[in-house]
Amino acid sequence: MVKFAEVNDLLVWQAEAVAMFSQDFVYAKFSEFYNSSSAEIPLPSSVSQREFAFLLFKGRVMMRHKGFADMNRFRSFLIDPKNLPSDVYHSCAYYENPEAEMDKKGWLGADLVFDIDADHIPTSCNKIHDEWTCGKCGFSGKGITPESCPICEGQKFDAKTWPCDLCLGSAKEETVKLVDMLEKDFGFSRKELHVFFSGHRGYHVHVENEAVRTLDAVARKEIVDYVSGIGLTVLTEKAKGKHKGKRASSVFGLHDFGWNKRLKLGMQKFILNATKEDLRSAGVRSYAAVLQNKEAILKRCLEEGRWGSVKGVSVETWAKIAEYVKNLESAKIDTVVTTDIHRLIRMAGTLHGKTGLKKIEFPVARLADFDPFKEAVAFKDGVVKVCVSDVPEFRLGGNVYGPYRRQVVELPTAAAVLLICKGRAEVVK
Ligand SMILES: [Zn+2]
Ligand SMILES: [Zn+2]
C-alpha cells in the first residue's frame, strides 16, 4: 500500500511537472513572437544612448546595463535563445555610456514619464479580484496591497491581481485627466506626448521634450505634486483657519487657469449631479442648503464668483467641496516612477511577462476608444487545453471567457498564455 505522504509527494511532483510544462509553453510562445515580430518593435528615440535591461526566462535573471548602437543589434540579441526575456525594459534616461556602471554612465537627461496603474487606484472591483499575502507573517487581505502589513509591518507582499476591464477603464480615466493637464496646463503638444498601454493593468505617458529632459528629481516632484493636486490651497493665505464669520467671497476665489479652472469645472459638474450621499461623502454638513439651491449656486457662485451669495453655503462648505473635487480631478499616478531619473520602463512593442500582452503606443486622440484587450493581443493563432484554478469573467480579442473555477477548458492561445502568466492555469498535457 502507498502511504499518504508518498501520494502527497507524488501529487506535488506532478503539479511541479505541469507547472514546468506550462512555463515551457509560455517560453515557446514568447520565442515564436520575437522570432516572427521583432522587426515590428518600434525604436525608442536615441537608441544608442539608452540602457536596456532584460528579465530572462532562464533563471529569472535581470540582465542590465546593455547598450545597442542600432535596432538591428538589439533585434539579433533579442532572438538569441539564450537571451529570451519575459520582460524588456529601457531607460527613460539618455547616457553617454549606457553600458557603464550607474555612477559612470554620464547622465545626459531623461524623458518625463508617468505610470498609471490600477494598483494605485481604489476601484470598487479590486476587492473581488485582488488579494495580497504578507511575505513575513502570512497575513492576507483583499483589495489594494497596503504599504506595510497591518499585523507585522512587513513590506514584502505576494500580490494576486487581475487585469480587469473595469480597473483598466479607471486607469484610462486617470490617463485622460493627466494628458489634459499636460496639454492645457503645461502646454505640451500632442506630438510630444506618447501614450501607451502598459501590457498589464495600466497606461504609461512619456513626454519627450527638450525642456523636460534635464529636470532633476526635485523638479519632477513638483510636476508630480501638481498633477496629484498635492499642496493645492483653495482658500486665500490669510483666510486659512480664521475664516469664521467672514464673507465667503473675500476668502474663497478661483481664477480661470490651471487647477483653479479645473476645480471650478469640477465643482460645477459635482453640484449639478450631487445627491445627498455625494455631499455627505464630501463632508458637507449643510447638504440641504446645497440641494435646495443648486441653480442659484451654479449661477451666482460658480459663474459669477459670488461665493457667499447663497444662504447656508459657507466658506467651510466651499472648502469641503473643493477638497473633494480636487481628489476627483487629480490624476492618480505612481509618483515614484516620475521622480526617478534613472528609471527603467517597459519597452513598447515587447511582451509583458505577467500577461503575454504587448505594451503598445496609440495616438492621444484615440484614448477614448482604445481597447487594450483587442489591440494588445500578441498571439492570434491556435487553441490550448488548460486547467484553470480560478479566474473571473474576462474579455480578450473580442470574446468573453469564464468565470472558471477548477475546470479544464480549451482556450485561444492568447487567453491561455494570459491565465498561465497570471498563475491561474496550467497546460493540460
Ligand atoms: Zn505581516
Ligand atoms: Zn477591477
- pLDDT of 4 reads 47
Task: Give the distance (Å) from ligand 1 centre to CA of residue 142.
Answer: 14
pLDDT digits (tens, 9 = 90+) for 280-294: 999 999 999 999 999
E strand intervals along 310-403: 344-346, 360-362, 383-391, 394-396, 399-401
- pLDDT of 157 reads 93
Give the ligand with the smallest distance to the CA of 142. Answer: 2
Task: Give the distance (Å) from ligand 2 centre to CA of residue 17.
Answer: 32
Give the ligand with the smallest distance to the CA of 157. Answer: 1
Task: Give the distance (Å) from ligand 1 centre to CA of residue 230.
Answer: 30
Task: Give the distance (Å) from ligand 2 centre to CA of residue 128.
Answer: 8
Task: Give the distance (Å) from ligand 2 centre to CA of residue 129.
Answer: 7
- Residue found under cell 505634486: 225
What is the C-alpha separation between 239 and 248, in angstroms, rounded? 10
Task: Give the distance (Å) from ligand 1 centre to CA of residue 362.
Answer: 41
- pLDDT of 133 reads 94
- pLDDT of 151 reads 94
Tell me the three-class secondary structure of 107-163, residue by residue.
Answer: EEEECEEEEEEHHHCCCCCHHHHCEEEECCCCCEEECCCCCCCCCCCCCCEEEECCC
Task: Give the distance (Å) from ligand 1 centre to CA of residue 132.
Answer: 10
First to last CA, the chain: 28
Task: Give the distance (Å) from ligand 2 centre to CA of residue 168.
Answer: 7
- pLDDT of 236 reads 63
Task: Give the distance (Å) from ligand 2 centre to CA of residue 324.
Answer: 23
Going by C-alpha positions, the residue among 214, 211, 199 that lies closest to residue 88 is 199
What is the C-alpha separation between 416 and 358, in angstroms, rounded? 15
- To the nearest 10°, report the CA torsion of 69, 71, 74, 75: -150
Task: Give the distance (Å) from ligand 1 centre to CA of residue 122.
Answer: 22
Task: Give the distance (Å) from ligand 1 centre to CA of residue 150.
Answer: 7
- pLDDT of 16 reads 58
Residues (pLDDT < 70) of the chain are 1-19, 236-251
- pLDDT of 120 reads 84
- To the nearest 10°, report the CA torsion of 19, 24, 26, 30: 160
Task: Give the distance (Å) from ligand 2 centre to CA of residue 194.
Answer: 25
Task: Give the distance (Å) from ligand 1 centre to CA of residue 131.
Answer: 14
